[in-house]
Structure formats: structure tokens, C-alpha cells
Structure 1
Amino acid sequence: MTNTNSGKLHETPAPVERVLVTGMGALTPLAGSCASLYDALFAGQDSIAPVEIFDASRFLGQLASTFNKVPAAGLSAEDHRWMDRATFFAVAALHEAMAQAGLEPGAFQGDAERVAVCLGSSHSGLVETEAVAMAVLNDQLAQLDPRKICATLVSHCTAVVKRVAGAKGRVITISSACASSNTAVGVGADLIRNGEADIVIAGGADTVSLSVIAGFNALRALSSTKTAPFSISPGLNIGEGAGIVILESKTSARKRGVTPLAEVLGYGLSGDAHHATAPDTTGAGAEQAMREALASANLEPHQIDYVNAHGTGTEANDSAESQAMLRVFGPGVVTSSLKSFFGHTLGASGVLELISTILMAQRGYAPHGLRMTEVRPGCAVLDYIADAPRQGVFNTLMVNNYGFGGNNSSLLVCLPQVLSGGAIMPRTIAADGVVVTGVGTVSAAGTTFAALAQALVAGVALACKGGDAFASATSPALRFTDAHLKPFARCAPSAKFGIAALEAALGADKQLYDHNPRSGLICGSVFGAQKPTEKFMESVFQGDPALANAHYFPMITMNANGGAASLAFGITGYTTTLCGSAAALCYALDLVRYGRQDRISVLASDEVTPRLLDIYHRAGALDVVGAPAALGEGACALALERAQGAQARHAGALVRISGWAHFQDCLDLGVAVNGDALHRAIVHALGCAGLQPDDIGGLVTLDCGPAPVATSVRRALSLSFGVTPPPVVADPVAVIGYTPSGAPLWTVAAAMAVVMRSDSPDHIMALGADLVGDAYAVVVSRCRSIE
């Protein structure tokens, strides 16, 4: 039975729901609430002080904005024994935001499936990562609470917020360094506009830790004095904290009788494709993100009343950013940086600066920058606010954030009822679907997709046991000989796997991605680059933290592999990294389906080390009903495009992705044994594809992990397909091992390998549950089924 819904095969207008901010919560060392934050900003107070939570005496700068005591946040004493400190920051901010929005945690009841969570963080979990690293280095891993290993995940903070709130909709964690939470608010707004949610809990959290300070010290970016963005002299101070905003559809807010605080108008992302840590000196990437945000909101530069700059205080950032603002807005743009108040809060920067900007604008002010005395040489001369808040009418506001890996994010908001309903840019749905025009894989099976397909047919496990008796399936070592790839020879193995897979996926279309704002790259990651992380932690905890390795520090961010891949191929469109490849794939598909990008590549890569094997087995993450599974490595990349666009340029479409979804259960860890989240994902994906359960001719399942995962998948299949679900037609985990970041994407590639055979069914579903708790379902269809 094939999809006969041929009436969908056209672009159709998409309803655009307006997105309101109905609650805000902020927690920083400067202030414990939004009200006290406004008071501090207005009074010109800062929270930058000598670090006391660890010894910072040998660093170039000893100043930061830190909590000396972690807030209780309403979580239990048992939670405090194993959770990362960023989690407590986020939950505390959540309670304030929900109270202001008139929402009760855990009380969504029947509406919980329409409540999503989208948070951003750069280094959430890093404090617990340090604890795990020290346990490994001191040969004490066996004594470590396994839950602490789970708390090292950047996404764990999001999982706890989801559980405390009682949300059952889509759950997304963005980790694009310092652009994370700004991007999270934009992505969260899209979930409402796309009809995926009525309420989104958005924002982010981040922490100050010894390894973070050591890393910025190694890059010589720290200031020995309090930072003064755009002014004399250069240097940054690190900060920590969390911010949460409640995003809500106008329909939902009106139904609940809630008074909105602001409206999210649009956002834009871009990639620099320039350097791992330094921004493009011209500010081209920053400029593109700002212009993308303006276009998404259907606004002109002159309509923006105030720009909250990223303004880290460093030479490279301040110069490039200010020159970009000059080109977009001209010299009269009103701007300042709030990092002079509470430091650079890394992945939490965007949401905290958004909340601060809204708080000031509500009262008729734009915030000033502290210690702004004179414009630093190299920075554009703009209308910087100095000395005191500026009184005036500041209705339409832009917040900018840029991060390592060249990830740029710009967000546009306005105060309520500033713009008419017609100001929001109408959009269209690519109802003819999204197709895959290229695929690339690197695995234990080899460096080609054909080799993977052959290995899946053979069904022979490629893992080998090492001296520790743990099995792993390793990929061939890569040596780049082409001139354009030689600069990446010293990258992490996972970055090189990713670059090789992406090169194969792009093929002859590489020129379509090269510095094209309509072509982007979305990455999925769980742990990032393991070997550089281990090397960096060794330099911090087995050596002198003041002499930490500057080469490895940029590689410990979750988006480092994506940054390397974007740089290798000049990808400057929408670029960001999500925790887990299931969420990354679904977001990439959304970007294409709703026309934000013409084409997107999605990439996930992993690498195996002996220490990582030990860590996974200590956490129990590789046990399948008591039987240990093999850990795998490699990379998988898919090139996605609107079917109509591919047809217009006569590109060969390999398969069609006709439906997709991902949800989570209300748990801190894993999935519920009742299979609810996966069942909802299967139903949603089938609905998106216009199919019935008996249209699915085969399954590729991911049920690796602790025993509840396998039980959850089995029960979801029963709920969705009855007593006799479709047969399992491929098992990539059994062949190439379990890849933490890429496993969901590998199931889609395996489904492609089956669908592309001449004797295959028309529709194969890839489904399962991954390490970060995503229950996902993706329908992979023959292209002939849509002709």
C-alpha cells in the first residue's frame, strides 16, 4: 500500500502562529530573580570578583562571576549528590519563569504533549566530566556513582528541566558554544510556528569550572581586570548562571488570559567557516546571521531600536562584530554588551542577555555597558551606551551571540503589540517532501556507503575484543592527502571521520554548499571528540592548570566536529549542533521542509578510546538485557533537499524522508518502559508521511542500552503495529557497533540501504531510543512512491 496523498505534492501556505514570551526566570551571581536583575543593571552593579570555588591564582585573570553555593532549586538532597551544578541553576530559573507565566510544574496533564523544552548550553555537565576524568586518572572509576557519568551529558540539564516541568513534547538541547541558548530560543519559537507545540520552555545554563578557566587562560583570552567590551583594554571574564523564557503561542496565551512580556519575531543562524576559535575578522558570519534574522521577521535594519551585542571583550570578537553591525545598521545603531555585568556566561549568554534587554526595555530603557570609556582601536564607532542606562522607546530588539566553531546566532524580539499581525513573514511547506541527495559513511565496514550496505546484508559483527574484554568496532584511520583537507590532519578522529563522510555525501554538490547562505550543516553529538577531551583533562589535572593545552581546549566543545566540517567545505548557512543525531536530523528536516534553508547536511560522528569503553560500561549504557554490546565509531552524513529543488536542478534523489518525529518521556534518564514516547513518535511520523501502519514494510530498530530501552521499544511496536509488527530488515548496531552520537542516523542510513534495493518495500521506518532519551521515528520511502 503506497502513499496516495498526491494532493500534498506542492508548496502550500503554512499557518504562522505568533510566539509570545509569557514568563521569564533568571539566576546569576549578580541577581537571583528577574526583579533583582533589573535593579542591578539599572544601578550599574556587577558580580565579577576573584574566584573562590577553586584556585585561580596562577591564571592570567583571576576574576569571574561565580556562585560560592549552589542553589537548592527545589531538588532533593539525593539529586545534589550526582547532578551537575548547571542543572540547579536551570531548575531555579524554571520555577521563576513558570510562576510568572501562571504555570504549575507537573500540571500540564492532557496538554503535556504540546509542551516542549529547548535549552542551550556549551559546558553543562563539565563539572561532572571533571569528576569522571579525575576518577579515571586516579584509577577510581569503579567507585564512581554511575549516575555522575550520566550527568556529564550536556543534555542532562534539559532532561531534568523536562521532568520537573512535566513536559512531553519535543525536547531539544543545542550545544553551539556561546550561541547555544540564543539559538535555543529561536528553535523553540519555530516549534510553535510549525504547529509542534503550544508552549516551549526555552533558554539555557552554563557553569564556571577549573577546566573552562584553564582553557580560556591557555588561549590568553582572560582579562586581569573587569572586562570592558569594545573599550580599553581587551579581555574577558567568565560567568555562570541560567535563564528560562516561556514561549507560548498567541492562541494559547489568549486562552489562558496571560499578559505577554514580549514577542519573538525571528532568528537567523550562520557559520563563519573560518577558524576553530577566532571569528572571521571581517564579521561576515555575524552580518549574515543578523540579516537572516531580519529577513525571517520581515524587518528592515532601521526598524531595530537596540542591539544587544555579543561583546565578549576580546580583540577578535569586538572588532569583527562591531564592523558587521556597522555594515548592517550604520554608525547610529544603539548598542551595548551586558557581559560587563555578569561575565561571559558561555552557552547561557543569549537567554540571560535577552531577559536583561526585555527587562530594561519594558521600563523604557536600554542597558549600558560598564567601564565603556573609549572605543578600542579596531572597533567600529557605533552609538555605544555608556555611563548609565539610556531612556527612550526601545520596542524592537536584537540579541546577538557567536561561538567557537564559527556558530553565529541572532534573535529578534519586540515588546507586546508593537507590530501588526501582518508583519510576520508568511512561509510555505514543502509538501512534496524532503529527499536525500547524498550519503556518506565511515565505519568498521569501510569508508563507503556501498561497503556499509554489503556489511548489513552479510550481518556479521565487525567488533573485536580488546585486552580489557570490552568489544569495539573501530573505523579505518584516515590520512588526508588532498590539499584542501591537509589542514585537518591534526583534528580529532571523530572530526576526520565526519569530514570524510560529509565529503562523500556532498559529492559533486560541494559547490552548492560553499559559502551559500541557503545551504547549512546540522550536527548531532553526545560526547564530542573524546581523545582531545582526555588529553585536555590530563593537561589540567595531571599537570599545571595554568599550562593547560591550548590545542585541545577548542575541541572539547560539542560543536567542534561540526565546526571543522563546516570549515572544510566552506559551509556558512544555518550551522549548529544538537545533542543526539535524532534531534539533529529532525531539526534539519524541519529547516528544509519549512523553507529556512534550500538544503541541509546532517552529520554525526564518534570515536572510541579505551577509557570511553570503561566509562560506558561503568554507566551500564551498553548492556542489552544483561548482554554487553560493542561500542562503535565512525561518521554518517546525509545531504537533504526539498524534492522540488532537487528535481529542478536534475539532481538524483536517493530516497525520500516522508515523515519524522522525536519525543521524550518525563524522566531524568532514559525512556519509560511503557513505550509511550516512541509510540507517539511513530504515530506522528506516520501522520507526517500520510501513511498507515500497514504501509510500513520493514523496520530498522535501535534498542541498545539498559534493559528498559529494549522493553520500551518492544511495547511501542506493539502499541503502534499490533501483535505482528513489520520485520526488522537491518541491524547496524549488531554490525558496526553502538555509536553514541550517530546511532539514530545510522538506522536511517541502514533503512536507505534497504529501500534502495530493487526488491525492497516502498517504506521502511527507522526507529528507537538513543542515549540522550530521544525516542524517534523516521519514514524512509522510495522516490518512486511519490511520483
Structure 2
Amino acid sequence: MKRVFITGMGVISAIGNTVTENHSALKNGVCGITTTADPVAGSIHVPLAAVSLDNELLRKKLQVHDPAVTRTTLLALHAFREAVQDAGLTAEELNSDRTALIGGTTVGGMSQADELYRDVSQRYTDSPFLSSYDCSSVFMFLQESHRMEGIVDTINTACSSAANAIGYGTRLIRSGLAKRAIVGGADSLSKFTISGFKALHILSPEICRPFDRHRQGLNLGEGAAFLVLEGEEEIPTHKKVYAEVKGYFNSSDAFHPTSLSADGEGPHLAMQGALNAAGLNASEVDFINAHGTATENNDESESKAMIRVFGEPPPFISTKSNTGHTLGAAAAVEAVYSLLSLAHQEIYPSLHFSQGIPGLDLHPVTSYRRCPLRHVMSNSFGFGGNCVSLIFSKS
């Protein structure tokens, strides 16, 4: 089977605007979740994790002045450009019909739903946000602005969207349909999303505590991240390689529209499937970047699944304690963090943990540590039981 490697990455989140800034924040246990009122939330007062750059600064930095370009797209463009530059891709390579672009998102252009409603209800004319309301508008903008002629697709499987984008990009390369793929995800905070999660009663009134017995729910965040994937034969010997995409598996247990089964069947199938795809035994996984949303359902279900697969799970953390839950971007952001762990042979602290879940009592790593890492698993579980596990291996 053709091997696929990561040669570039870019990320923007509540703890940093670049890969370097995110790496420093992770090492130092920085939490980007704040209880400061955010104007996007309206009257809903909950902790959120916002990127430090507002739309005006993003537009100026990226030289994008079209009002139809939403915040989700601005975040995506920021991370996309960093990943492309990091991989050293040329304009010719970007334009090639052998370069794919696969992105994941949940809210997409719907981040401007309130503005769209305001425009059409008050002015009775077209709104600049009408053309960007479509979920695929984010990655269509990246395609058009960079004149990309290869396969372009948008995936929406809720919180596993970007993980499926990474898996799909890997499959395109392995099947010979692309030489390289730029894969990732993006989502921005919006009243639309915050209201929806509040209706599900899973927003925490305090800063989230993944895997803690006193967890009260998740905190929403925003961000974007991209990886550049390339087939082994396309990589010059002098080119930097972060890791290999060793395993990918998607399971769809369809247990419930918004929750996982109590015994963790979906996560179990995803993790075991990824191990099988990678040709690895459970004992060979050195570290897990868990989905870890800090909701009552997810953390218990994921814990049970990890015990089923690993017996005694390897060291694990949830970086959602740093960035909040960035939804469609989460799997890509956490893939970057997993790759940073591999590249630097280190595990970052999972924040705000105090006591384990009764009857399971699994404890995430709570302090920075250096340790040898060869194979890292990253979990992402979406609504509707769409569960994905990825395995990255040191090259």
C-alpha cells in the first residue's frame, strides 16, 4: 500500500495564531477558554474560546476585503496558507489537477446567519452573505482564490468532519487519484452554533474538565487547521516530514442523533479499526489525543471504549481543555497537536482535571512530560455516531 506522509501544517486557535504559538501554549498549559462576554453569543453567557484576531485584523492580514467572505473562511485561509508555506508547495503544485483539497466544517458560512437574516428582513435585497451561506463555500473560496484544479470536497460529519477529511485525502493518494492533498477543517463561533448547543443542554457554565467526575459539559471554541499530505514517491529526499498517516477508520454506529452508546461501541470500533488498518497491536500505541469533550456522555463512553481496546490505556489527554471544542476544525487542530507531540517527543498537560469518573477512574496526563513516542492515536467522534480514529507514526 502506498505510504502517505505529512509535510506541512498550519493552525489557528484560541491559544495561538501559528503552529509555533500553539506549540508554546500547549507546553505551558495555556487555556484559551474565557468567561469574558463575547458579542457573538448575544444574551447567552457561557465560557468560550475565541481566536484573538477579530475579523478586521484577519481581513487586513489576509488582504481579503469581500464582505461575503465569512469568519469561518478567514480562519480557514489563515491556516491553509501556513500549511502550504510550511510544505513549500509551489503555485504550480497548488494549481495542479493532482492536488486535492478536502475540508471539514459544521457551521461553514452559516456563521453569518444572523447577518443574513438582518439583511433580507430589513432591506429586502440580496445579502452579501447569501452566496457564502452554503457549507461548501469555505473550501470553494480556497479553491478559487488559489486556482486549484484538483479534487475539492467538503465533509460534514459534525465533530469528526476534519478527521474524515484527513482520511479521505489519504485514500485519494493511496488510490492514485491525487499526488498530494491539503486536508483539514475550520469553524467559527456563532450565535447559531451556541444557541444550538445550549438547546442540547451540554454547554458547561464553567471552564470544561475533560474526564473529570465533576464535568458539566463542553465549551465551544473556534479555529482552523490544515495538513499537507504527500505520497512517498512525491517527496524529495531533502524535504521535511512530520509523520506518516499510518491508520484511519470510520465507524457509524447510528446509536443516537447527538450521543454515543453507553458502552462506547462506536469509539471502540473506530479505535480497533484504525489499529487494524495500521497493522498495529494496541500495546504499540504510545499516546492518545482523546476526543474528550467533557460532556457526561462522551467521556464515560470514550473511557469504556479505551479500556475495551487497550485494557490499561496508554497516556492520554484532551486538548479541548486548552482550545474548547472547535467542532468541524477539532480533528484537524488535534491532529496538528498530535504531530507536535511526535515531532518533539512530548505530551502536553490536560487541564482542569481533579478526580476520575467513578467506576472507571482513568486519569489524563496533567503535567508536561517528555517521553519516547512512536505511534499516536487521535480520536474524533461526531453526532449520529460518526466516529473516527487516526494513527500517526514517526517516520
- TMscore range, shorter length: over 0.9
Taking a change above 3 Å as real, the CA distance of residues 52 and 68 of structure 1, as seen in their structure-2 partners, is farther
State how far apart, in whole Å, the 2-side matches of 1:118 and 1:405 are.
Answer: 21
Q: 2:228 corresponds to which residue?
A: 246
In 2, Cα distance between equivalents of 1:391 and 1:398 = 17
Counterpart CA distance in 2 for 1:19 and 1:43 is 31
1-structure distance, mates of 2:111, 2:11: 21
Rounded Cα–Cα distance in structure 2 between residues aligned with 1:141 and 1:66: 33
User: Which amino acid letter does the alignment assign opposite residue 83 of structure 1?
Assistant: V
Matched, 1:144 2:131: no
How far is 1:389 from its partner?
1.8
Q: Which residue matches 2:371?
A: 392
Give 1:47's aligned residue. Answer: 32
In the alignment of these two chains, the number of paired residues is: 392
Query: In structure 2, what residue type is equivalent to 1:72?
Result: R
Contact residue 155 and residue 162 of structure 2 kept, 8 A: yes
Alignment of 1:274-289 (within 5 A): 274-289=255-270
Determine which of 82, 85, 88 is the counterpart of 1:102: 88
Q: Distance in 2 between matches of 1:195 and 1:374?
A: 48
Q: 1:57 to 1:163 in 2, by over 3 A?
A: closer
Cα deviation 1:217-274 (Å, max 9, x = unaligned) = 121111121111001322111000100100011111136x312111101210111221
What is aligned with 2:384? 405
| DSSP-derived class of the 1:108 partner | helix
Shift of 1:306: 0.6
Q: Of the two, which has the highest radius of gyration?
A: 1
Give yes or no for the alignment of 1:213 onto 2:200: no
Provide the residue aligned with 2:99 in structure 1.
115
Per-residue deviation, 1:301: 0.9
Residue pair 2:186, 2:328 contacting (<8 A) in 1 also? yes
Q: Which residue of the partner structure matches residue 294 of structure 2?
A: 313
Matched with 2:109 is 125
Indicate conservation of the 8 Å contact 1:38/1:360, yes or no. Answer: no
Secondary structure of residue in 1 paired with 2:80: helix
Residue in structure 2 matching 1:59, options 22, 44, 51? 44
Matched, 1:159 2:159: no
Map of 1:177 onto structure 2:
158
In the alignment, which residue of structure 1 is the partner of 2:271?
290
SS at match of 1:288: helix
Distance 1:162 1:384, change over 3 A: same
Which whole-Å CA distance do the structure 2 matches of 1:325 and 1:65 have between them? 30
Residues 198-230 of structure 1: CA distance to partner in whole angstroms, max 9, x if unpaired? 110000100110121111112111112111100
Q: What residue number does 1:72 align with?
A: 59
- Give, in whole Å, the separation in 1 of the partners of 2:42 and 2:63: 34
Question: Helix, strand or coil for the counterpart of 1:384?
Answer: coil
The correspondence of residues 17-32 of structure 1 with structure 2, limited to 5 A, is 17-32=2-17
CA deviations on 1:521-558 (whole Å, 9 max, x unpaired) are xxxxxxxxxxxxxxxxxxxxxxxxxxxxxxxxxxxxxx
CA distance in 1, matches of 2:112, 2:97: 31
2:236 is aligned with what amino acid?
A: R
1:56 is displaced (CA, Å) by 4.2
Where 2:125 maps in the other structure, the secondary structure is helix
Separation in 2, partners of 1:118, 1:51: 34
Higher RCO (C-alpha 8 Å, min separation 6): 2
**Aligned-pair CA distance for 1:52:** 4.3
Which structure 2 residues correspond to residues 378-527 of structure 1 after superposition, within 5 A?
380-386=360-366, 388-416=367-395
Match of 1:669 in 2: none
With over 3 angstroms needed to count, the CA separation of the structure-2 counterparts of 1:144 and 1:389, relative to structure 1, is same
Change in CA separation of 1:174 and 1:55 when aligned onto 2, cut-off 3 Å: closer
- Cα distance in 1 for partners of 2:33, 2:216 equals 16
Q: Find the partner of 2:69 among 83, 103, 120.
A: 83
- Partners in 1 of 2:347 and 2:230 — Cα distance? 25
- Stretches of structure 2 that go unaligned for 5 or more consecutive residues are none
Deviations 1:630-688 (A, max 9, x none): xxxxxxxxxxxxxxxxxxxxxxxxxxxxxxxxxxxxxxxxxxxxxxxxxxxxxxxxxxx
* Residues in 2 aligned to 1:184 and 1:167: alpha-carbon distance in whole angstroms: 17
**What is the distance in 1 between the residues matched to 2:50 and 2:28?**
17
Superposition CA RMSD, Å: 1.9
Cα distance 1:77–1:164, how it changes in 2: closer, same or farther (>3 A)? closer
Task: Report the alpha carbon displacement of residue 163 of structure 1 after superposing the two structures with TM.
Answer: 2.8
Single out whichever of 238-247 and 354-363 deviates more from structure 2. 354-363
Instruction: Provide the C-alpha distance between the structure 2 equivalents of 1:390 and 1:75, rounded to a whole number of angstroms.
Output: 36
Separation in structure 2 between the aligned mates of residue 181 and residue 55 of structure 1, nearest angstrom: 24
Alpha-carbon offset, residue 384 of structure 1: 1.7
- Matched with 1:324 is 305
Q: Quote the Cα distance in structure 1 between the aligned partners of 2:45 and 2:256.
A: 24
Deviation string 1:715-745 (CA, Å, 9 cap, x unpaired) is xxxxxxxxxxxxxxxxxxxxxxxxxxxxxxx
Aligned AA for 1:206?
D
Q: How does 1:333-348 map to 2 (within 5 A)?
A: 333-348=314-329
* Post-superposition offset of 1:61: 2.4
Is the Cα contact below 8 Å between 2:270 and 2:387 reproduced in 1?
Answer: yes
Alpha-carbon distance, 1:84 to partner: 1.3
Kept after mapping to 1: 8 A contact 2:40/2:189: no
Displacement of 1:60 after TM fit? 6.1
1:36 aligns with 2:21: yes
Q: Determine if contact 1:199/1:248 at 8 Å carries over to the other structure.
A: yes
Distance change (3 Å), C-alpha of 1:41 and 1:73: farther
TM-score scaled to structure 1, two decimals?
0.48
Tell me the distance in 2 between the aligned counterparts of 1:122 and 1:204. Answer: 9
Query: SS of the residue aligned with 2:300?
Result: helix
Q: Matched residue of 2:342: which SS?
A: helix
Query: How far apart are the structure 1 equivalents of 2:242 and 2:63?
Result: 32
1:191 aligns with 2:137: no
TM-score, length-scaled by structure 2:
0.94
**Equivalent residue number for residue 248 of structure 2:** 267
